[in-house]
Structure 1
Amino acid sequence: MSVRASLAGNGQELVIQVDGRFDFSAHQEFRDAYEKAAEVRKYVVDLGGATYLDSSALGMLLLLRDHAGGDHSEISIMNCNDDVRKILAISNFEQLFTIQ
């Protein structure tokens, strides 16, 4: 499992890439990725390398949403495999996030 963050869009977009199992073991790394970035307006969570997603990962995504401004946040989740997309759909996350 690894979490990498990089700034794009003149430093106003934060891309967080998660590889491997996205579970509680990623909690601190995932949180550090977005809490240390300043002046970010848009967040992209790239799950192209994620092989697994559990309820703690869903909770981490909700914490990111709160950090980013709740209903006014701009967060995209992208590159989900079929299993991850199914979990997000069952959890109704398409109503809270833009899923690509």
Structure 2
Amino acid sequence: MSISITVNETKDIATITIVGSFDFSLFNEFRAAYSDLERCYKTYVVDMSMVEYLDSAALGMLLSMRNGIEEESNIQLTGANAFIKNILMISRFDKRFDIQ
């Protein structure tokens, strides 16, 4: 399994961990990770610390996530390596996401 979801009800956080390549092959699994949750969370963390590769489809999936959850919810992109973080910054994702 390339995606796992953990929730912390006390802190109102849902964490989506991605392992390996973050590309179009994960489209349905990634969308289900946040849309199939029983409720909306204040913070969504997308843990990218084990992502080796990211393509334009992954960028689109992140934008779909941003549009698919409540506007008040915060999305944190965490753990990205320097190369992936650079792609996120060039794509101006720092304007719509909290990149850590």
Same structural fold, with TM-score higher than 0.5 when normalized by the shorter chain: yes
Moved over 2 A (4+): 9-12
In the alignment, the residues of structure 1 paired with residue 97 and residue 11 of structure 2 have an alpha-carbon distance, to the nearest angstrom, of 21
The alignment's TM-score, normalised by the length of structure 1, stands at 0.91
1:68 aligns with 2:69: yes
Gaps of 5+ in 1: none
User: What is the alpha-carbon distance in structure 2 between the residues aligned to residue 99 and residue 8 of structure 1?
Assistant: 20
The separation in 1 between residues aligned to 2:12 and 2:27, in whole angstroms, is 23
- Partner Cα separation in structure 1 for residue 42 and residue 76 of structure 2: 12
TM-score of the pair, normalised by structure 2: 0.91
Q: CA deviation at 1:68?
A: 1.7
Q: Distance in 1 between matches of 2:73 and 2:34?
A: 13
Q: How many residue pairs get matched?
A: 99
Structure 2: distance between partners of 1:61 and 1:69: 14
Q: Percent identity?
A: 39
The aligned residue for residue 3 of structure 1 is 3
Which deviates the most, 11-20 or 84-93? 11-20
The Cα RMSD (Å) is 1.5
Deviation at 1:11, TM superposition (A): 7.0
* 8 Å Cα contact 1:27-1:60 kept in structure 2: yes
Offset at 1:41? Answer: 2.0
In structure 2, give the amino acid aligned to 1:90. Answer: I
Mapped partners of 1:63, 1:18: distance in 2 = 16
The Cα shift of 1:67 comes to 1.5
- 1:48-82: per-residue Cα shift (whole Å, max 9, x none)? 00001111000110111112224x33110000001
